[in-house]
Structure 1
Amino acid sequence: MAAIHLPRAMRIGAGTLDELPEALAQFGLSRPLIVTDGWMASSGVLERVETILTAAGLQPRAFTGVVPDPTVTSVEAATAFLREGDHDCVIGLGGGSSIDTAKVVAVKAARDLPITALKAPHQEDAPALPIVAIPTTAGTGSEATRVTVITDAATDEKMLCMGLAYLPSIAILDYELTLTKPARLTADTGIDSLVHAVEAYVSRRANPFSDAAALSAMRLIWPNLPLACADPGNRPAREALMLGALQGGIAFSNASVALVHGMSRPIGAHFHVSHGLSNAMLMPVVTQWSAPAALPRYATCARAMGIADDSESDQSAVGRLVEALHRINADLSVPTPAAYGIARDRWDDLVPLMAAQALASGSPANNPRVPDAAEIAALYAQAWD
């Protein structure tokens, strides 16, 4: 059995941003708060969205204080800004940080709970303000998920918050918003999407619906990621990556992520490494360690990505998969933690805490091979260099 959850309305393709007023009107919404970051405000993207809305007779307000890896403090500031106005929905405009912030603001607008009370295993399912997701990075899949991640700066913990209240009502997926995205961000977010798809497929909570979305995402992301990194204006590649990110988000939201994500969040919290990049640092070593417990599943991933063909054994296909993951990290200049500049002594000191935080998130329990704290510590050591 599987319980499937999706946004109520999705508009996908070039130019769909212009349909935002129509999408809001379908839901009877007219007083949006836009939640975004300073770059979106300075780049002209926010102004474009505001112009589209005001031309339709709407009067949006915009909070532009979203920070990377959103913190409790930044979310509280956005919530206070919302309460100064009269809003009937929250629009998350930008990358995963903007959409994740918008999700929590929408929930806190309806229920004034501390964010620490919302973290998993707590489930927040009761309806909150409607959420509208407009991704500009084609990576996190947050536009299709019922999860959000907020950092507690006091403890350096990335808190996973879950429930139907965080699932966007509307998603606008206009790949033209990604055409100016730089190669580094393209690489990091693209690998993030790939990890979503692979982990959803090998997860212990996988189901036929999530499998179909995950395999489609892999077929879209793997060949097109290098093309978009090499040529940011490659429209077919950008379109494929945005659709792949959406399907990867649908896959893991209706199955789960696993060990890579469980280990990745503490790296981001303690060392301020972007989420996609920390996933990429871990993906090859965690895949190699996990694969013996689900060889046919990982082999199917390799075949879907075009890395292996049907004539090869599962063992051979998985070997090719691990090699390809190492190779794409090299091709896309993904640094190891050592090359990133993290101090070895601080890394070693924090490994026990990071392992405990990874386990506490629950994600490693969904992995085909379930680790204990010592095995996670060993994988962190292996990933170091």
Structure 2
Amino acid sequence: MLSGAIGRVQSPRVIRIGGGVALEVADVLEQLGLSKPLIVTDKNLIILGHVATVTDVLDSAGVAWGVFEDVVEDPTDTCVDAGLNAFGQSDYDCVIGLGGGSPMDTAKAISFMSVNAGHVREYKAPYQIDRCGPPVILIPTTGGTGSELTRWCVITDTERTEKYNLSGLACVATAALIDWTFTTTKPWRITADTAVDSLTHAMEAYVSRRAFAYTDAFALSAMPLISEHVRSACHDPENAIAREALMLAASQAGMAFSNASVALVHGMSRPIGAHFHVAHGLSNAMLLPAVTAFSVNDAPERYATCARVMCWASERDSDEMACARLVEELTRLNDDLKVPCPSELGHAKDDAMFSVMAEQALASGSPQNNPRIPSAAEIVQLYQQIW
């Protein structure tokens, strides 16, 4: 971003961060003048007891509540419709999104679609959804998506097999309670994938054509936290230091990409999720080394800085050497985190499908933020390379 250009920042009104802050949910509702939330979550979080952690606090405070527990992974338009129906069954005055990116994004969509007519696809980016619905309180249970602090959500269209971004003031939470203690129950695969999702957020925000000083600060702080602690969190799920670091990094990276946007990795990742039902963080991990190698020569100083802040290169290394080290270490990180390629998950190469996916990636707008803006043919080649 050029010096003197204007950065525009959107963030929640209330942000509380730290172990145990989820227990302050009733206090936050009172602060905001709210009295009856619909909790949007999934069945697994009920089984794990995380929903009870919140509802017990609400019960103790005499706060009435309801639950919509039917959120699916990579939430769909039909999931949002079901949540809207649940919201309309009582006089709820706010929504609590409790979980990973799927429940949080669903909560956002339920809120803004309760006051905006039509189908959710009518509001996909670059449309800006600024007519806000009821307040949204987000409580993440994974250290990855950063949705609790972003102005984005992602919904899958079941009719068109398309995963699209939604953006605007209506996608910004009213409050975020960021409590790392929820993440200790997460298994290796989710821990690894959500951490690399955060790393991708931070790196893409930093190299984005829309980056500026405010977002740079968050991105540069998040990257070393992830690179230093992700392996420890995977090998030792109860490691409090690692878990806290990854949750903080996820939020910092969320602030960075929410206001600087993501780039080519995310543009290519969404079609993988839509067509092959690969988890978002995992598809990002599959793509990150190859897309970085594709892009480094168009922003060598920026990518070299990424390598240096993660201690993968030194100040004595040339930018060229640092960029090479960055690609090497991202590849090594994938190996250590046991990231499979799509074919190892049973998904066969399909050049015709890759062409469709390339067009969907470009239509999302994210690749246009990349240092090297790809053609559709180059995106197809990248899909072939990582497959």
TM range, normalised to the smaller chain? over 0.9
Following TM superposition, by how much is the alpha carbon of 1:8 offset from its aligned partner in structure 2, in angstroms? 0.8
| CA drift at 1:46 | 1.0
Mapped to 1, the partners of 2:300 and 2:240 lie a distance apart of: 35
How far is 1:322 from its partner? 0.1
Q: Tell me, in whole angstroms, the C-alpha distance in 2 between the residues paired with 1:114 and 1:99.
A: 19
- Aligned-partner residue type, residue 95 of structure 2: V
Q: Which residue of structure 1 lines up, in the alignment, with residue 308 of structure 2?
A: 303
- For 2:52, the aligned partner's letter is E
Q: Provide the C-alpha distance between the structure 1 equivalents of 2:219 and 2:321, rounded to a whole number of angstroms.
A: 21
Q: 2:132 aligns with which of 113, 127, 136?
A: 127
Query: Which deviates more, 36-45 or 249-258?
Result: 36-45
CA separation in 1, counterparts of 2:232 and 2:48?
24
1:264 deviates by 0.3
Give 1:193's aligned amino acid.
Answer: S
State how far apart, in whole Å, the 2-side matches of 1:112 and 1:130 are.
18
What SS is found at the alignment partner of 1:198?
helix
Matched, 1:166 2:203: no
3-state SS of 1:307 partner:
coil
In 2, distance between residues paired with 1:244 and 1:43? 24
Kindly provide the amino acid, as one letter, of the partner of residue 369 in structure 2.
N
Partner of 1:182: 187
The reply to whether residue 373 of structure 1 matches residue 383 of structure 2 is no
1:354 matches 2:322: no
Q: Aligned partners of 2:113 and 2:286: how far apart in 1?
A: 34
List per-residue Cα deviations over 1:281-336 (Å, max 9, x = no partner): 00000000000000000000001111111111000001000000111111110001
Query: Are the counterparts in 1 of residues 111 and 132 from structure 2 also a CA contact under 8 Å?
Result: no
The one-letter code of the counterpart of 1:192 is D
Equivalent AA in structure 1 for residue 314 of structure 2: D
Give 1:19 deviation, angstroms.
0.6
Query: 2:77: which partner in 1?
Result: 72
1:86 corresponds in structure 2 to 91
SS of aligned partner of 2:133: coil
Q: Which residue of 2 aligns with 1:284?
A: 289
Q: Tell me how far 1:127 sits from its aligned partner.
A: 2.2
Amino acid at match of 1:61: G
Matched, 1:251 2:256: yes
Offset at residue 126 of structure 1 (A): 2.2
Compute the TM-score of the two structures, normalised by the length of structure 2.
Answer: 0.98
Deviation by residue 1:327-346 (Cα, 9 ceiling, x = unmatched): 111111000111121022xx
Are positions 1:382 and 2:382 aligned together?
A: no
Are residues 1:240 and 2:240 paired? no
Measure, in 2, the Cα distance between the counterparts of 1:150 and 1:278.
Answer: 16
Q: CA deviation at 1:48?
A: 1.9
The yes-or-no answer on 1:153 pairing with 2:158 is yes
Cα deviation per residue 1:122-175 (whole Å; 9 max; x = unaligned)?
110122211111000110000000111100111110011110101001000110
**How far apart are 1:349 and its partner, in Å?**
2.6
Aligned counterparts, 1:26-45, within 5 A: 26-45=31-50
Q: Distance in 1 between matches of 2:225 and 2:31?
A: 30
Alignment check: 8 A CA contact 2:115 2:131 kept:
no
Which stretch of the first structure deviates more once superposed, 327-336 or 107-116?
Answer: 107-116
Q: Which amino acid aligns with 2:196?
A: I
Shift of 1:113: 2.6
CA contact (8 A) 2:112 2:131 kept: no
Deviations 1:178-214 (A, max 9, x none): 0111011000000000000000000000000000000
Deviations 1:41-65 (A, max 9, x none): 1221112211111110101100000
- CA distance in structure 1 between the aligned counterparts of 2:53 and 2:140, rounded to whole angstroms: 14
One-letter amino acid matched to 2:273: G
Note if contact 2:351-2:380 (Cα within 8 Å) is conserved in structure 1: no
Pairing 1:15–2:20 present? yes
Give the share of equivalent positions with the same residue, in percent: 54
- Which residue number corresponds to residue 363 of structure 1? 366
Matched, 1:226 2:241: no
Q: Is the 8 A contact 2:23 2:53 kept in 1?
A: no
**What amino acid is the match of 1:48?**
T
Name which of structure 1's ranges 21-30 and 42-51 shifts more when overlaid on structure 2.
42-51
Please report the TM-score for the alignment, with normalisation by the length of structure 1.
0.98
Partner SS for 2:38: strand
Partner of 2:3: none
Residue 111 of structure 2 is matched in structure 1 by 106
Consecutive unaligned residues in structure 2, runs of 5 or more = 1-5
- How many Å separate the matches in 2 of 1:125 and 1:364? 24
